[in-house]
Structure 1
Amino acid sequence: MPARSVTRLAVVLALLAVPWSVQTFVGARPPGFVFAWGLLNFDPLSVTFLWDFLFRYTMGLPDYILAWPLSVACYCVALASAAVGYLFDREDPRVTAGLLAAAGVAQLTLAQEFSFQPGRAGWPLGTAACWLVAWWVYRGRDAPAD
C-alpha cells in the first residue's frame, strides 16, 4: 500500500478534531463549537452528540440547522472513500475531494445562516479545513488507473 494513502486517510480523519463552526454571541457568553460529532458548549459545560441533536432536540429549530447533518453525511462518505483508498488502493480522489468540498459548502451555509440572527456570528472553520484538505491533499490527483 502506498504510504501517501495512509497520510490521506489520517488527514481526512483529523477533520473530526476541528470545530466545523464556532458560534459566538454578543456579551460575555462563551462560544459554542459545532463538530462533526456534536456540539460543545461551555455555558454550562455540555456535549450534545449529533445523534441526540437530530432525534431529541430538533423540535422547532430552523431549517438551516439541517446543513450540519448534511455536511456530516458528505464528510462520512469522503472518509469512507479515503478508507477504501487505504485498504484497497481504489480511491477516486476526485470523489473524496468533491465530497469534502460539499461538506464545506454545507458548513458555510450553517455559519452564514447562524450569523443572520441578531447578536450572533458563525465562523466556518470546518469549511476552511475541508476545502484546505480537498485542495492540499487531493489537488492534481487523477482517477485511479484500471
Structure 2
Amino acid sequence: MDRRLGAICLLAALPWSVAVAGTVTFVFPFALVDPNTGAITTIDAYYLRQTTVLPPFLQAWGIGVVLYLGAVASALAGRVLGREDRRVTDGLLLLAGLTQLSLAHGFARQPGRFAIPLGTVFCVAVVWWFDWSTVRAGVGLSSE
C-alpha cells in the first residue's frame, strides 16, 4: 500500500469530532465512543435503530462517512486498477472534512455544547500533504 492510500485509510481510525455536551463523545467514522463509560454506538445503530428524525447537523456525520468511503474507493481503484482522478478523491475528502464543520456549528448553536472538528483538519492535511499541487492546478491556481 502506498503512503497516500495508507493515510486516507488511517482517517477511519481517527476521531473526526470531539463533541462536548456535559460529557465527551468521540465521533469516529464508524461509531460514537464515550471514553468515560466505554459505550460504543455504531453508525448503523445510531441512524437505523436509535433515531428517527435528525437535525441536519447530525446527518452531516453520515454524509461525511459516505463521502469518505467514496474517497477510499477512488484511491483504492487508483491503486488496484491504475485509474484514479486524484481531484475526485481529494474533492470527496475535502467535502467529508467539511461535514465536520457542519456538525461543530450545529453543536455550538445549543447552550453548553460544542464540538471540535478534528476530521476537517485531518482530511485537509492529507489532501494538502499529498496533492496540494494537483488541487492548485485543478482550480487554476498553478504557479506558472
TM band (smaller chain):
0.7 to 0.9
Alignment size in residue pairs: 136
- TM-score normalised by the chain length of structure 2: 0.87
- Structure 1 length normalisation: TM-score? 0.86
Q: What's the secondary structure of 2:15's corresponding residue? A: coil
Task: Report how far residue 60 of structure 1 moved.
Answer: 4.4
Aligned to 1:122, the other structure's residue is in SS state strand
CA distance in 2, matches of 1:73, 1:60: 19
User: AA paired with 2:17?
Assistant: S
CA RMSD of the aligned region, Å? 1.7
Shift, 1:82, TM fit:
0.7
Matched, 1:54 2:50: no
Deviation of the 1:119 alpha carbon: 0.7
Provide structure 1 residue ranges, at least 5 long, that are not aligned to the other structure. none
Q: Is the 8 A contact 1:101 1:134 kept in 2?
A: yes
Which of 62, 71, 82 does residue 69 from structure 1 map onto?
A: 62
Alpha-carbon distance in structure 2 between the residues aligned to 1:90 and 1:45: 41
Same amino acid, percent of matched pairs: 40
Task: Please state if 1:34 is matched with 2:27.
Answer: yes
Alignment of 1:1-146 (within 5 A): 6-26=2-22, 29=23, 31-141=24-134
Q: Which runs of 5+ in 2 are unaligned?
A: 139-144
State the SS of the aligned residue for 1:39: strand
